[in-house]
């Protein structure tokens, strides 16, 4: 029997921990600075109108199937699993950078590849015991993350020019709405862990008959709150958002000269590490649940995909997040929706009849009264 969540709050914290990660702390502030209020408006609409219903769908489908992507999608599970493998590789890269910078704050020298390996070991150790261990880690990490982001946001608000930076980022340009649609869509999918199979796996730990709409709404609320807090921290600093490496290098360069800059940098990196660990635990759990024998051999491949592991501000190093956002996650979620549509519309293509009193099948069932024989459609029944 699968070990499940101890309560609804356990699912909320675990799913929020999976959703809140590098997408909120790094990608969202950069996208908000580039797209401004147009991006934010589209992002909030997509989260409310698409993200929350799709999150409910993934919770429900996983709970109904009692398993992760293979139990829900069959052969089509290759799409979410591929997205999950690439996403975990991306997290190994950024997690390695985070661990390396934290070591530097403590006066130690740790190469980025060694940091990525250490981050992978922490991820495997945290999810070793499945859902109960993930729930305990998320219950401890997520409130601490929100507290750290709140303290850092209050500090950033006191910096000179903070109001102007936030005001410029929130200004809506109607002409920018069409071009910001695709970035907002990709950001919403990545931020909510949609299309990775993680939420399908988390839904499978739910007991049958439990509603999931309230949990999905709470996860979306926490995820959006953390993204906005991260933007309130990052935007007043005026960091370079040319790439992921530029963000990390800029954080170290800007915070070091400030009073208590080392402590502030350590607090920010600790918040990033907490968010990254709770997210990577969910991805590792999804892959290990779907492919228990292949998970360990896949780790070297994911470390290879995480290259270049050196912290270099090179556009070539950012092919991985673009592939995940624009190709893998939309394709995976589209496969799940197509499967749902086919299973649902199967009622119009399958033959079934009204059953008469003696069990006979009348020639013209629509003219007879009786009980309709109901077809079954697997998890979508």
Question: Is the model's pLDDT at 373 over the cut of 80?
Answer: no
Question: Is the model's pLDDT at 301 over the cut of 50?
Answer: yes
> Which pLDDT does position 350 carry in this prediction?
44
> Which pLDDT does position 164 carry in this prediction?
86
Question: Is the model's pLDDT at 260 over the cut of 80?
Answer: no
> Which pLDDT does position 43 carry in this prediction?
95
Dist CA 161 CA 171 (whole Å): 16
Chain segment 207-224, per-residue pLDDT in tens: 877 778 899 999 999 999
In sequence order, the β-bridge partners of residue 371 are 355
Query: How does the average pLDDT of the chain come out, rounded?
Result: 79
Question: Is the model's pLDDT at 361 over the cut of 60?
Answer: no
> Which pLDDT does position 132 carry in this prediction?
83
What integer is the mean pLDDT of 189-198? 88
CATH topology of domain 8-337: Amino acid/polyamine transporter I (1.20.1740)
Provide the CB-side half-sphere exposure for 172 (13 A, CA).
8
What integer is the mean pLDDT of 230-250? 71
What integer is the mean pLDDT of 157-169? 84
Q: Band the pLDDT of 309: cuts 50, 70, 90.
A: very low
> Which pLDDT does position 249 carry in this prediction?
63
> Which pLDDT does position 380 carry in this prediction?
42
Question: Is the model's pLDDT at 91 over the cut of 80?
Answer: yes
Q: Is the pLDDT higher at 241 or at 178?
A: 178
Dist CA 317 CA 300 (whole Å): 18
Q: Where in the chain do CATH 1.20.1740.10 domains reside? A: 8-337
Write the DSSP symbol of residue 107.
T
> Which pLDDT does position 349 carry in this prediction?
43
> Which pLDDT does position 48 carry in this prediction?
94
> Which pLDDT does position 358 carry in this prediction?
52
Contact 208, 240 (CB under 8 A): no
Dist CA 340 CA 328 (whole Å): 19
Q: Band the pLDDT of 353: cuts 50, 70, 90.
A: very low
Question: Is the model's pLDDT at 81 over the cut of 50?
Answer: yes
Question: Is the model's pLDDT at 379 over the cut of 50?
Answer: no
> Which pLDDT does position 347 carry in this prediction?
42
Q: Band the pLDDT of 381: cuts 50, 70, 90.
A: very low
Question: Is the model's pLDDT at 130 over the cut of 60?
Answer: yes
Q: Band the pLDDT of 13: cuts 50, 70, 90.
A: very high
| Long-range Cβ contacts of 38-41 (<8 Å, 24+ apart) | 38/172, 38/173, 38/174, 38/176, 38/177, 38/180, 39/176, 39/180, 39/183, 39/184, 39/187, 40/169, 40/170, 40/172, 41/172, 41/177
What integer is the mean pLDDT of 166-173? 86
> Which pLDDT does position 100 carry in this prediction?
86
């Amino acid at each position: 029997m699968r070990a499940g969540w101890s309560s609804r709050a356990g699912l909320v914290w675990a799913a929020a921990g999976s959703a809140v990660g590098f997408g909120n702390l790094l990608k969202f502030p950069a996208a908000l600075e580039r797209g401004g209020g147009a991006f934010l408006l589209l992002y909030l609409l997509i989260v409310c109108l698409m993200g929350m219903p799709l999150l409910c769908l993934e919770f429900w489908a996983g709970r109904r199937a009692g398993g992760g992507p293979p139990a829900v999608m069959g052969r089509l599970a290759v799409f979410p699993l591929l997205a999950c493998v690439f996403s975990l590789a991306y997290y190994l890269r950024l997690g390695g950078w985070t661990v390396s910078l934290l070591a530097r704050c403590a006066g130690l020298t740790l190469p980025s590849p060694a940091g990525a390996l250490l981050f992978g070991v922490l991820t495997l150790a945290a999810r070793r015991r499945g859902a109960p261990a993930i729930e305990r880690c998320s219950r401890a990490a997520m409130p601490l993350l929100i507290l750290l982001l709140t303290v850092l946001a209050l500090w950033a608000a006191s910096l000179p020019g903070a109001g102007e930076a936030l005001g410029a980022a929130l200004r809506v340009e109607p002409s920018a709405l069409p071009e910001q649609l695709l970035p907002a869509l990709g950001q919403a999918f990545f931020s909510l862990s949609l299309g990775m199979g993680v939420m399908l796996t988390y839904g499978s730990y739910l007991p049958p008959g439990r509603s999931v709409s309230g949990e999905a709404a709470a996860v979306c609320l926490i995820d959006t709150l953390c993204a906005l807090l991260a933007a309130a921290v990052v935007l007043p600093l005026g960091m370079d958002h040319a790439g992921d490496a530029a963000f990390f290098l800029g954080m170290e360069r800007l915070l070091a000269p400030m009073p208590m800059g080392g402590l502030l940098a350590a607090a920010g990196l600790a918040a990033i590490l907490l968010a990254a660990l709770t997210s990577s635990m969910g991805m590792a759990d999804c892959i290990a649940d779907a492919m228990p024998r292949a998970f360990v051999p896949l780790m070297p491949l994911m470390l290879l995909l995480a290259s270049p592991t050196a912290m270099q501000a090179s556009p070539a190093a950012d092919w991985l997040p673009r592939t995940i956002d624009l190709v893998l996650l939309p394709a995976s979620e589209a496969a799940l929706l197509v499967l749902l549509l086919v299973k649902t519309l199967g009622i119009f293509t399958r033959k079934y009849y009204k059953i008469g009193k003696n069990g006979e099948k009348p020639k013209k069932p629509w003219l007879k009264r009786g009980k309709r024989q109901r077809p079954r459609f697997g998890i979508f029944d």
